[in-house]
């Protein structure tokens, strides 16, 4: 059913371009905590676990808001929701520049996540997924590559702004720029033809590309996403302070994070194309394997070259994880609940990001280095791989059972057919 209802149109690529740029800016906000760790530590004397809780607050907000905004976008469309999100995101960034209390910073990051970022991320990805069928992997890969590019450019840009005028100056003018750019871009969004010509069949059907009950597969994908994102969050939030602790300058440390994110641009395009050929689940497992097998190596090397090498490999893998997990949600869910399915998977992912961010700072404060923090990230990655392998086995078993039933029906029909005389 999916393939017949989704007729790809050229304007879909305009929607891809808008979503790519908007999520590049949106994900740039996520790395503000990473570059603010040292300034906050120096100015206020807060611990790294306390500062990292800002990212946790953002993640929890995004998790809570994601399901609401995703479900709402299934009913009223993405444009109005995304415009609201852009406004909240911009005002939130600007308001950070005036704060001195930690709890207020937490509240702002929570609002940025739940009312700003979540109302951009989930509706825009769901919208892109509805414009495409045959090339949905490439389309979602491009959009998530933009998110990686934003995370790659933002640390360098924000660190440069901090060096020029301080962190308050950086947050104020970053928010002003976001407001002008995002509101202009989002005016170009349109609803996809599949929604404009929606039928009763679309609103009622439970069919999906996996042929499995979505009430079973979506929760398992969401559960895997928690552990995947615990693994992912530790380097994203704690790579810059780890590098500075090793003696690198703040600019060089931010450059490492940028390298990781820029490598992610390539990873998201590659794994998006791969998903169009092999399906989302295999692609998700492959990307998760790269992420899990490299995360601990950040703590096992001190040379700049080796840190860059690990950043490139980890960035390539972690970026593919995000792309392919979203494609899995698109494939496993009926079209009528695409936004909701992506929201559920994203929500649990953000829960994992929040846990990973906090535990990275907590175990550093307890042990005095990052070895245990990155070690627990690797363990979480292994749990994710086990869950995905179990889901793949179940899908394969169900497919084999369905084929066996079809062959049995054919055999019975053949045997009961009258013999030619």
Q: What is the pLDDT of residues 230-261, one digit of tens each?
A: 999 999 889 988 998 888 888 888 888 888 88
Q: How far apart are CA 341 and CA 208, in angstroms?
A: 12
pLDDT grade, residue 205 (50/70/90)?
Answer: very low
Q: What is the pLDDT of residue 8?
A: 58
pLDDT of residue 380: 96
Query: How far apart (Å, rounded) are the C-alpha atoms in residues 44 and 113?
Result: 24
Average pLDDT over residues 48-56: 84
Looking at residue 47, its pLDDT comes to 87
Q: Which residue has the higher pLDDT, 349 or 309?
A: 309
Task: Give the mean model confidence (pLDDT) for residues 261-288.
Answer: 86
Q: What average pLDDT does this structure show over 389-398?
A: 81
The residues, ordered by sequence, that sit 6+ positions from 12 with a Cβ below 8 Å of its Cβ are: 128, 131, 132, 139, 192
Q: Of 66-80, 228-242, 323-337, give the range with the top mean pLDDT.
A: 228-242
Band of residue 6 on the pLDDT scale cut at 50, 70, 90: low
Provide the sign of the torsion angle of the four alpha carbons 240, 162, 260, 379, taken in this order. Answer: positive
Query: Does the pLDDT value for residue 280 go beyond 60?
Result: yes
Measured CA distances, 277 to 107, 141, 273, 274 (Å): 43, 13, 7, 5
**Cβ contacts of 178-184, under 8 Å, gap ≥ 24:** 178/25, 178/86, 178/89, 178/90, 178/93, 179/86, 179/87, 179/90, 179/91, 181/21, 181/25, 182/22, 182/25, 182/86, 182/89, 182/90, 182/120, 183/83, 183/86, 183/87
Per residue in 346-390, pLDDT tens?
Answer: 888 888 988 998 899 889 989 988 999 999 999 999 999 999 998
Range of 110-114, 262-266, 339-343, 382-386 with top mean pLDDT? 382-386
| Residue 226's pLDDT band (cuts 50, 70, 90) | very high
Share of the chain above pLDDT 70, in %: 87
> 203 falls in which pLDDT band (50, 70, 90)?
very low
What mean pLDDT do residues 146-166 have? 84
Q: Is the pLDDT of residue 41 over 80?
A: yes
Q: How far apart are CA 233 and CA 300, in angstroms?
A: 18
Could you count the other beta carbons within 10 Å of the beta carbon of residue 136? Answer: 25
What percent of the chain has pLDDT above 90? 31
- We find that the CATH architecture of domain 2-190+208-400 is Up-down Bundle (1.20)
Mean per-residue pLDDT over the chain, rounded: 83
Least confident stretch, 21-25, 42-46, 310-314, 394-398: 394-398
Is there a contact between 323 and 272 (Cβ–Cβ < 8 Å)? Answer: yes
Q: What is the DSSP string of 278-346?
A: H-HHHHHHHHHHHHHHHHGGGGS---HHHHHHHHHHHHHHHHHHHHHHHHHHHHHS-GGGHHHHHHHHH
How much is the pLDDT for 196? 52
How far apart CA 43 and CA 26 sit, in angstroms, is 26
More confident residue, 396 or 33: 33
What is the per-residue pLDDT for 16? Answer: 92
The yes-or-no verdict on residue 9 having pLDDT over 50 is yes
Predicted local confidence at residue 194, as pLDDT? 57
Please give the average per-residue pLDDT across 72-77, as a whole number. 80
Do the Cβ atoms of 363 and 373 come closer than 8 Å?
yes
Q: What is the rounded average pLDDT of the residues 143-149?
A: 81
Query: pLDDT at position 385, please?
Result: 96
Inter-residue contact 284 to 392 (CB < 8 Å)? no
- pLDDT exceeds cutoff 50 at 62: yes
The pLDDT score that the predictor gives to residue 288 is 95
Which strand (E) or helix (H) includes residue 191?
Answer: none
**322, exposed or middle or buried, with CB in 10 Å at 0-12, 13-18, 19+?**
buried
Percent helix / strand / coil, the chain, rounded to 5: 85, 0, 15
Q: How far is CA 27 from CA 115, 216, 400, in A?
A: 14, 30, 41
Average the pLDDT over 286-315 and give the result: 93
Per-residue pLDDT averaged across 48-67, rounded?
Answer: 84
Domain boundaries, the chain: 2-190+208-400
Mark residue 279 as left, alpha or beta (left: phi above 0; alpha: psi -120 to 50; beta: remaining): left
């Amino acid at each position: 059913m999916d393939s017949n209802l989704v007729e790809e149109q050229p304007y879909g690529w305009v929607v891809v371009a808008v979503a790519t740029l908007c999520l590049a800016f949106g994900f740039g906000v996520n790395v503000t905590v990473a570059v603010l760790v040292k300034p906050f530590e120096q100015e206020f004397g807060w611990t790294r676990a306390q500062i990292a809780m800002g990212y946790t607050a953002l993640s929890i907000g995004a998790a809570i808001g994601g399901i609401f905004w995703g479900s709402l976008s299934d009913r009223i469309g993405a444009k109005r929701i995304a415009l609201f999100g852009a406004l909240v995101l911009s005002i939130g960034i600007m308001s950070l520049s005036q704060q001195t209390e930690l709890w207020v910073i937490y509240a702002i990051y929570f609002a940025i996540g739940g009312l700003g970022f979540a109302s951009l991320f989930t509706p825009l990805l769901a919208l892109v997924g509805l414009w495409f069928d045959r090339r949905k992997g490439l389309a979602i890969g491009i959009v998530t590559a933009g998110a990686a590019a934003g995370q790659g450019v933002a640390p360098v840009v924000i660190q440069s702004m901090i060096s020029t005028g301080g962190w308050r100056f950086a947050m104020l003018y970053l928010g002003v720029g976001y407001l002008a750019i995002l509101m202009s871009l989002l005016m170009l969004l349109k609803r996809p033809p599949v929604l404009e010509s929606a039928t009763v069949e679309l609103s009622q059907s439970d069919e999906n590309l996996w042929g499995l009950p979505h009430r079973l597969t979506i929760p398992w994908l969401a559960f895997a996403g928690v552990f995947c994102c615990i693994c992912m969050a530790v380097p994203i939030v704690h790579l810059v302070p780890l590098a500075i602790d090793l003696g690198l300058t703040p600019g060089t440390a931010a450059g490492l994070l940028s390298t990781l994110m820029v490598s992610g641009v390539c990873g998201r395009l590659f794994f998006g194309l791969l998903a169009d050929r092999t399906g989302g689940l295999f692609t998700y497992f492959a990307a998760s394997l790269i992420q899990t097998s490299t995360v601990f190596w950040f703590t096992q090397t001190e040379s700049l070259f080796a840190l860059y090498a690990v950043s490139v490999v980890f960035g390539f893998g972690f970026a593919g994880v995000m792309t392919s997990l979203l494609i899995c949600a698109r494939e496993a869910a009926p079209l009528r609940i695409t936004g909701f399915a992506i929201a559920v998977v994203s929500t649990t992912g953000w829960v994992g990001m929040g846990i990973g961010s906090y535990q990275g700072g907590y175990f550093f404060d307890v042990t005095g280095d990052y070895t245990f923090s990155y070690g627990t990230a690797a363990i979480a990655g292994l749990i994710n791989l086990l869950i995905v392998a179990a889901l793949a086995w179940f899908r394969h078993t169900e497919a084999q059972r369905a084929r066996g039933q079809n062959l049995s029906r054919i055999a019975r029909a053949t045997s009961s057919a009258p013999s030619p005389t």
